[in-house]
Amino acid sequence: PTSSSFPSASPIPTIIPTQPYYEKIGEAGTKTLWVVFVIMLLSSLAFTAMAWRVPVQKRLFHVITTLITTFATISYFAMAIGDGNSYAHIVIKEAHNHVPDTVEHVFRQVFWARYIDWSVTTPLLLLDLAFLAGMDGASILVAIVADVIMVLTGLFAAFGKTDGQKWGYYTIACLAYLVIVYQLVISGRRAASTKDNSTAKLFASIGGFTIILWTLYPIVWGIGDGARKWSVDAEIIAYAVLDVLAKPVFGFWLLFAHAKSAEAIEGFWSHGLDREGAL
């Protein structure tokens, strides 16, 4: 039998795509990724060195903080070598009112490695804050689960094909973020207020810093991935600044300030005992 003996099916409706265009990383973006990779690597080494200088029982914050920058080092390495990304297919406009139908679309590069990084590092950052405040288990669990929901729905939003998908997931992510803020501000502050004065103060300032910083992420996302008003490079640079503040700067602040307040408490007690002894 020849191919002509096969009856052809009903004609496939044709959608003629207009020439797609690609929004992707450039030279400035690649350079930025390498710079942040180096910053994260050096910070991880510095945090490790700091951990070795304190006894194991006092290393909890050092370990959490070192893990955070270690994950970031790997994720920035992946992004800098051109891995850990894919293209989101965004349908701008479908026209079905003429023949042939047309579809206007664009492909935007999404660095999904970020979301893998965030799914591990943002819960660890929350643990740093939760342990500092001495938060209860239930509040910690709620904050961390909300955080994972935020990052995953953020990832789905980044690959949303239509505005409905994109902003729908984005809304869910923002609601989850509000749950985190609630836990930090209400449960966290309540727990911290029962601690010594210097810890309560440190929690208030480093927690405030965290909330301001974290709130900038959905804004960058909205301008970059969301509204596509920023180039992929501009988005990479904005996230780079935020990531350096949220991980290494946050880490050094926490470790130095916590060491200082722990020293102050120890000093207070030993001083008290000396006086007792003298009497």
Residues of this chain that bind ligand RET (CB under 6 A):
118, 121-122, 125, 150-151, 154, 157, 170, 173-174, 177, 214, 217-218, 221, 243, 246-247
Tell me the C-alpha distance between 108 and 86, whole Å.
8
Instruction: Select from 48, 63, 38 the least CA-distant residue to 128.
Output: 63
22: left (phi over 0), alpha (psi -120 to 50) or beta: beta
Q: Which is nearer to ligand RET, 29 or 251 (CB)?
A: 251
Mention every residue, 6+ apart, whose C-beta is less than 8 A from residue 17.
Answer: 102, 103, 104, 105
Q: Which is nearer to ligand RET, 43 or 261 (CB)?
A: 43
Residue 201 C-beta: closest distance to ligand RET, Å: 22
DSSP assignment, residue 223?
A: I
Q: Which is nearer to ligand RET, 62 or 114 (CB)?
A: 114
- 26 with 233: CB under 8 angstroms? yes
Residue 24 C-beta: closest distance to ligand RET, Å: 20
Residue 226 C-beta: closest distance to ligand RET, Å: 8
- Alpha-carbon dihedral angle through residues 220, 226, 232, 238, given to the nearest 10 degrees: 0
Tokens representing 46? Answer: 């510095």
Q: Which is nearer to ligand RET, 180 or 261 (CB)?
A: 180
Tokens representing 68? Answer: 């955070």
Q: Which is nearer to ligand RET, 177 or 203 (CB)?
A: 177
User: Residues 141, 142, 143, CA angle at the centre, nearest 5°?
Assistant: 90
Q: Which is nearer to ligand RET, 215 or 270 (CB)?
A: 215
What residue type is assigned to position 30 of the chain?
Answer: T
Q: Which is nearer to ligand RET, 41 or 262 (CB)?
A: 41
Residue 113 C-beta: closest distance to ligand RET, Å: 12
Q: How many CA atoms lie within 13 A of 130 on its CB side?
A: 21
Residue 276 C-beta: closest distance to ligand RET, Å: 45
Is 112 strand, coil or helix?
coil
Residue 130 C-beta: closest distance to ligand RET, Å: 15
Residue 44 C-beta: closest distance to ligand RET, Å: 13
Which residue's CB atom is positioned nearest to ligand RET?
154
Tokens representing 38? Answer: 């180096």
